Structure 1
Amino acid sequence: MTEAATNEPVIKSVQCISPAGLHRMAYKEWGDLSNPKVLVCVHGVTRVADDFDDLARALAGHYRVVCPDVVGRGRSGRLRNPDLYRIPQYVSDMVTLLARVLPDGDGRQVAWFGTSMGGLIGMALASLPGNPIGRLVLNDIGPVLDPAALRRIGDYIGQDVRFATFEEGARFVRDISASFGPHSEAQWEKMARDVLRQDADGSWIRHYDLALAQPFRAATPESVAADEHMLWAAYDAIRCPTLVVRGAQSDLLSHATAQMMTQRGPRARLAEIDGVGHAPTFVQPDQIALAKEFLLEL
């Protein structure tokens, strides 16, 4: 395998469908494009495919690594009906993506690494009969979601916040991402550049559709309870080897829920990372080593 094949990603897109029409989902592809071993990495609710650059570089010699921008984020298109920014639509889009990257099917399996929302998508997909997921990493997510944490996320994602300079925007991203744990100045700057873009008026804005907040705002105690019931049913249906990673200070995935996930469904292994809340970024060498150990097991 050539160095160019492992170290430089290719940006592609695939056309997907929703009840409101067609949209495009962009994705980054790393490694040897002929490699039959595929790893799909899916980001959190306001993040992008670029979050996985370090992890992808570390694994591109072993896997063909595919990192999508979930619809409504980054390079991908937007949905005409924001009510559709929900897990079922995302799962549908990922099935379309998998049909693209595994065109001949034939029972081939993929590994899945999902952070937060990306983990929920992976959990839902891995619960379906005949699904292709053979190994699953759930990064700081589980079937029980803390309502206060959900309100916190919903409060900030719909705000039309604009910044006069990139530096001002980067400070904002760093402040709202403090729970990610310690990072170098260069790492913080990259995380900001990944999710900020300059608008036509010269201001810097966050690189996602603000309408993502609409399903959060529509949530009720009853709908949250129903979602939890469905998520546990999905988790209990998973049969592939599963690793649950939890930030030890996470306010979204409790220690009790993570422990329960080791006893139910796929009986996941659990790894907790000290000094980190929601969610570990997997740009640090020790976190990348944790993922590699699980994903490269025979």
Structure 2
Amino acid sequence: MRTESIKALSGTGFHRLVYHEWGSAENDRVVVCVHGLARNSRDFDDLAQALARDYRVVCPDIAGRGQSDWLNPPAAYQIPQYMNDMVTLLARLNVDKVDWVGTSMGGLIGICLAALPNSPIRSLLLNDIGPFVPSAALQRIAAYLEDRRFDSIEACEAWLRQTYPALGDLSARQWRRLAQTSTRVLADGELALHYDPAIAESLRLTCDEDVDLWALWQQIACPQMLIWGEESDVLLTETVARMGAENPAMQLLSLPGIGHAPSLMDSQQIEAVVAWLRTHQHL
């Protein structure tokens, strides 16, 4: 794993975005993996290692998460800002096309980019996200985005296990690594979650309204795969049905008994992602 950074621009100045990279830097077949709202790039460690033999895999920390700078004011935490940041990242990578793997928020960013004319998105893999997200799900997510503190890594791991039941099949080693990569050490020695608590403030301003990107979804022409946790409250059954109806060629992987969002750390899920990307190797 290599760690790099870029300078991106917001309305109030420049901010540093960190990204981690696997595989040969000379490989022009690039997969960009983008995490969910309160997560970070290290969620993709297992997937990136599986893909690195065939791809250059790039996993950014979206602004306000992981090792990337926090934004000010908090209202800047919006999809248009993330899109601009990712365009800056793609320019640094110096490739014309990328395959996009997006979990939740990362998938929304991918939808918005893939819908644009002359998009650099070659193929779009969405992990438990679609063009419609009900406000009830946004409100649930906003409720746990607090400035939480922990006195030990074990306490953080216990909270993660309770808060992210969709990740329930992870090994003990994976849970511990998740706790370690999800936290930052404060000056007083306590642990805090590795994101800006102001992200919650930004979400609360908009969570009373559904996310509706159907008009953008209809503009996407690249190949698509959807991974769906069948118990998800973010990606509803009717949304999955409509996505498939509007694009019958979309490949669907349904995961019974799993909610939002599948980990992409499970071997079955990783194998499905690897296999699908390989089918589009020569696009």
TMscore range, shorter length? over 0.9
Report % sequence identity: 44
Q: Partner of 1:277 in structure 2? A: 259
Q: Secondary structure at the match of 2:245?
A: coil
Instruction: List structure 1 segments (4+ residues) > 3 angstroms apart after TM superposition.
Output: none
Pairing of 1:59-138 with structure 2 (within 5 A): 59-102=51-94, 105=95, 108-138=96-126
Label 1:220 to 1:40 Cα distance change in 2 as closer, same or farther (>3 A).
closer
1:194 paired with 2:181, answer yes
Q: Secondary structure at the match of 1:95?
A: helix
Instruction: Give the Cα separation in 1 of the matches to 2:203 and 2:88.
Output: 25
Instruction: Give the Cα separation in 2 of the matches to 1:57 and 1:163.
Output: 30
Pairing of 1:247-262 with structure 2 (within 5 A): 247-262=229-244
Which residue identity lines up with residue 102 of structure 2 in the other structure? Answer: G
Q: Partner of 2:35 in structure 1? A: 43
Q: Partner of 2:250 in structure 1? A: 268
Instruction: Give the Cα separation in 2 of the matches to 1:220 and 1:11.
Output: 33
Q: Deviations over 1:39-88 (max 9, x none)?
A: 00000011111111110111111110000000000100011111010111
Q: Partner of 1:242 in structure 2? A: 224
Q: Deviations over 1:145-191 (max 9, x none)?
A: 1222111111111x222111121111111110112232221111111
Q: Partner of 1:4 in structure 2? A: none
Instruction: Give the Cα separation in 2 of the matches to 1:148 and 1:240.
Output: 30
Q: Partner of 1:14 in structure 2? A: 6
- 8 Å CA contact 1:127–1:238 kept in 2: the answer is yes
Name the TM-score, length of structure 2 as normaliser.
Answer: 0.96
Q: Partner of 1:5 in structure 2? A: none
Name the TM-score, length of structure 1 as normaliser.
Answer: 0.91
- 8 Å CA contact 1:259–1:270 kept in 2: the answer is no
Q: Partner of 1:153 in structure 2? A: 141
Instruction: Give the Cα separation in 2 of the matches to 1:141 and 1:89.
Output: 19
Selected match of 1:164 from 131, 148, 151: 151
- 8 Å CA contact 2:169–2:266 kept in 1: the answer is no
Q: Deviations over 1:79-130 (max 9, x none)?
A: 111101011100000000000002xx5xx21100000000000000001111
- 8 Å CA contact 2:65–2:195 kept in 1: the answer is yes
Deviation at 1:289, TM superposition (A): 0.6
Note the residue ranges of structure 1 that are not aligned, 5 or more in a row.
1-8
Pairwise CA RMSD: 1.3
Label 1:220 to 1:296 Cα distance change in 2 as closer, same or farther (>3 A).
closer
Which residue identity lines up with residue 163 of structure 2 in the other structure? Answer: I
How many residues were matched structurally?
A: 280
Q: Secondary structure at the match of 1:237?
A: coil
Moved more, 273-282 or 39-48: 273-282
Q: Secondary structure at the match of 1:50?
A: helix
Which residue identity lines up with residue 48 of structure 1 in the other structure? Answer: N
Pairing of 1:46-57 with structure 2 (within 5 A): 46-57=38-49
Deviation at 1:142, TM superposition (A): 0.7
Q: Secondary structure at the match of 1:208?
A: coil
Selected match of 1:143 from 117, 131, 141: 131
Which residue identity lines up with residue 242 of structure 1 in the other structure? Answer: Q
Deviation at 1:282, TM superposition (A): 0.9
